[in-house]
Amino acid sequence: MSANINTSAQGKRARKIPHTDEHRPKFIHQLANGGAETWLSAIIFGFGSFVNGQIIKGLLYLASEVGFILFYLTFGWGYVKDLLTLGTVQQGWVFNEAIGIDELAAGQNSMLILLYSVLTIATLVPLFMIWRNSVKSSYLAHERKLAGIKQPTFLKDVKTLLDLRYHMTLMSLPLITLTLFTALPIIFMVAIAFTNFDATHQPPGKLFTWVGLTNFRNIFFDNPKYKNSFGGILTWTFIWAIFATVTNYLLGMILALMINKQGIKLKKLWRTCFVITIAVPQFVSLMLVSRMFADTGIVNETLKNWNWIKDPIKFLTDPTLARIMVVIINMWVGVPYTMLMTTGILMNIPADLYESANIDGATAYRQFVSITLPYMLFVTGPYLITTFVGNINNFNVIYLLTSGGPLNQNYYQAGDTDLLVTWLYKLTVDRSDYNLASAIGIIIFVIVAAFSLLAYNFTGSVKKEDQFS
């Protein structure tokens, strides 16, 4: 009985047109074996489906082809044709005697040419997919016809979206939005790094064009102003990221250890006290602190009133002091987070390790260095990397506290506490040097990506994934 069911099932499967991935023939194979209608389907989308009785499916393929062609003719080509030059016609004016004002002879807009060209070129991907599917469905329809199987109705095809091809239904929306709102803008902005879209080439009055690697050459070699600024700011960015990460991590952990220590009373109260700093929005506390430590802020004024100082301490306007201050203030903002996170992990360290250490007479410091720290580093390795990378791009703390200041005379539009990312912000918003900012953005990405990959592969959590102890 059971054998009977088996054979019949197998028989069905054997007759069925291969539908799953492992059986799918290659594209060439489909063209070669799909009959004349498949060849035609590569030119007239949906032709094969249409002649094999899948009318609606065929029409949809055809409609999308027509839609794409219309899109390219009426919209896309108008921009893509100028992609190589990014436009040649500047905006001009023609005086109209009758009404006494100028008439605008609209010029081309390099930015829109670049933007819509990227969009148009990106539409080639869905076009290719539809073309590929048109050939494939024609081939499958042809095979079904040869095998004498009834073609599935359109409704049935649609129903597979809820069943066999449910993953497509689920994934299509995120994929489309991700492409439109993340991938395309990134491509557009990467492209700007290879143009001269700066303060003196602003639309609508001026065009900009491709300049190859000039921006990168300027940053690294040719332009001493950019070179000095970049070198100095990059160094400080790393110093900052290291200090900000390490101090927060260690202090947060020590704080958690202290609160967790046996014999400490009111643990919950202490913990709540520190967590309250999280409840106040970060930018509010940062702005307040920046006012507090200003030359005429409350700290300096109080110290003056107590006659401790005569001149204000330049907390945020002296280069070295400002750098120290941002690291310290960042501790205050960041330590509670580390404390919260480490509290949980610290409780997980097996207590017997500490017991035996106690018996062996190990000091508290020894226990921390030999038990707590290795354990924590093992568990939180990836967390440390993300924090480090986050600190490289820690816009909020720097911008809200010092705005990158105090300004440095050797830097181009930047100050001593500026990170690459805040410098980038100033270049775009204050100076409209989009090309330079975009090039810096790419460089930041390369640095961060390379560092993350390297560091991640060296962490204990990855190398000794299986020996969690």
Partner 1 sequence: MKNLRKIVSVVLACVLMMSAVSALADKVTLKVWGSNDDQKVLGELIEEFKAANPDTEWDISLGVVGEPDARARYQEDPAAAADVFAFANDQLIDLVNSGALRRITLNLDQIAAANTAGSIESATLDGTLYGYPKSADNGYFMYYDKSVFTEEDVKTLDGMLKKANEAGKKVFMDLSNGWYIASFFLGAGGQLTVDENGKQVCDFNNANGLAAAEAIKAFAADPAFLTGDDSVLVGMFGTTIAAGVSGTWNATVIAEKLGENYAACALPTFTCGGEQVPMASFIGTKVVGVNSQTAAPLQAFQLAEFITNEAAQVKFFEQRELGPTNIAAASNPAVLENIALAALSAQGVNGVSQKLVLGGYWTPAEAFGLAMENKSTEDLQSLLDKMVAQIVE
Binding site residues, partner 1, CB under 8 A: 90-91, 93, 95, 99-102, 104, 107, 199-200, 202-206, 225, 294-296, 314, 317-318, 405-410, 412-413, 415, 429-432
Residues 6+ apart with CB under 8 A from 278: 336, 337, 340
Q: Which CB atom, from 335 or from 440, has the smaller least distance to partner 1?
A: 440
Helices vs strands, H then E, count in the chain: 24, 2
Q: Which CB atom, from 274 or from 412, has the smaller least distance to partner 1?
A: 412
One-letter amino acid at 22 equals E
Q: Which CB atom, from 99 or from 173, has the smaller least distance to partner 1?
A: 99
- Closest approach, Cβ 119 to partner 1, in A, equals 16
Q: Cα–Cα–Cα angle for 218, 221, 226, nearest 5°?
A: 50
- Closest approach, Cβ 301 to partner 1, in A, equals 9
Q: Which CB atom, from 244 or from 398, has the smaller least distance to partner 1?
A: 398
- Closest approach, Cβ 225 to partner 1, in A, equals 7
Q: Which CB atom, from 152 or from 405, has the smaller least distance to partner 1?
A: 405
Element (H, E) at 95: strand 92-96
- Closest approach, Cβ 116 to partner 1, in A, equals 13
* E-state strands within 97-248: 101-105
- How many other C-beta atoms can be found within 10 angstroms of the C-beta atom of residue 422? 24
Give the integer Cα–Cα distance in Å for 317 and 407: 8
Q: Which CB atom, from 133 or from 413, has the smaller least distance to partner 1?
A: 413
Q: Which CB atom, from 4 or from 409, has the smaller least distance to partner 1?
A: 409
- Closest approach, Cβ 226 to partner 1, in A, equals 11
* Helix runs in 349-433, H state only: 351-359, 364-367, 373-392, 395-401, 420-429
- Closest approach, Cβ 393 to partner 1, in A, equals 22
- How many other C-beta atoms can be found within 10 angstroms of the C-beta atom of residue 248? 23
Sign of CA dihedral 387, 279, 300, 414: positive
Give the integer Cα–Cα distance in Å for 43 and 386: 49
- Closest approach, Cβ 328 to partner 1, in A, equals 20
